Amino acid sequence: MSLLDGASDPGQGNQGDGNAGAQDLLGTPKAGAEPQKVAEPAPLPEWLKGLPEPLQKAKSLAKFKDGTHVENLAKSYVELESKLGRSIELPGKDATDEDKVKFFARIGRPMTADDYEIGLRDAELAKRLRAASFNAGLTKEQVKAQASAIAEYEAERDKLASKAYTDSATKADRQLREEFGAQYDIRMEAAKKGYESLYSEGLRRQLAESGVTNNPEFIRVMSDLGMQIKEASLVRGKPSSDAPRDPYYDSMAYLLKDR
């Protein structure tokens, strides 16, 4: 027994292993043991033998070993060339402006920002969206989808705003009816008179859009103003003289001087 093989005899091996145990633990073959055979590589196809050695070892060419290797190789090359022709390479860090323009054109960006189809009511928003989309290289389909999403949001927002406006007017009307009682129609007519006397048409439009005209407090103030204007016009009466009247007495300053 060897001093390096442990407790067992390296020459014994297992039954049925043949020469499996015909060496010691350091790999030294036992005298008379048959050397292990090394598997030889498969022979190269004849057509590969004529290629340089690096190509002979290329695994991608190993599949072309049947009788139609040249035809199959040609088909593979044509398919690869077709795919390369359709492929799009992203511009690198050193890409020029011309390279970027070509890339954006290949992925579907229009020639100018005005070519985007954007159906938005806000002209300024549409203008900015076109410019930003063009600079980012977005396609017409992408921008159209974005514009549609914005338009849907605006429609939903307007619908909610309209409902809120109507609800506000209904609530204010209910409150004023309770407050004015039998004088409701008279007070509301006075509010309209005071409102139209104090504000121009442009300002009235802005106030209406802001929602303040549905505010009970605002309507109450306009009603008081209208009632005072009515009372002032009754007290003033018509001038007894045919002389031209001073415009001051028909102005809002005169009507409101005692408030």
Q: Measured between alpha carbons, how far is residue 193 from residues 204, 232, 246 in Å?
A: 12, 13, 22
Average pLDDT, the chain: 74
pLDDT tens per residue, range 94-152: 777 777 777 777 777 888 889 888 888 899 999 999 999 888 888 888 898 999 999 99
pLDDT of residue 104: 76
Q: To the nearest whole percent, how much of the chain has pLDDT over 70?
A: 55
DSSP at 129: H
DSSP at 140: H
Mean pLDDT of 61-82: 61
Strand partners, 11: none
Q: At residue 3, does pLDDT exceed 50?
A: no
pLDDT of residue 78: 59
Q: At residue 246, does pLDDT exceed 90?
A: no
Q: Token match 């063009």: residue?
A: 134
Mean pLDDT of 154-166: 90
pLDDT of residue 30: 63
Which residues, other chains included, contact 255 with Cβ-Cβ below 8 Å and sequence gap of 6+?
A: 197, 228, 229, 232
- Report d(CA 14, CA 35) in Å as an integer: 18
Mean pLDDT of 38-51: 66
pLDDT of residue 230: 82
Q: Are 25 and 4 contacting, i.e. CB atoms less than 8 angstroms apart?
A: yes
Q: Token match 């072309």: residue?
A: 64
Q: At residue 5, does pLDDT exceed 70?
A: no
pLDDT of residue 50: 64
Q: At residue 21, does pLDDT exceed 80?
A: no
Nearest CA to 223 out of 258, 170, 179 is that of 179
pLDDT of residue 229: 86
Q: At residue 4, does pLDDT exceed 50?
A: no
pLDDT of residue 90: 64
Which residues, other chains included, contact 66 with Cβ-Cβ below 8 Å and sequence gap of 6+?
A: 72
pLDDT tens per residue, range 211-244: 899 999 999 999 999 998 888 776 555 555 555 5
More confident residue, 218 or 52: 218
pLDDT of residue 109: 83
Q: At residue 49, does pLDDT exceed 70?
A: no
Report which listed range, 6-20, 74-88, 186-200, is most confident.
Answer: 186-200
pLDDT of residue 32: 60
Give the pTM. Answer: 0.46
pLDDT of residue 68: 59
- Report d(CA 214, CA 166) in Å as an integer: 9
pLDDT tens per residue, range 184-205: 999 999 999 999 988 999 999 9
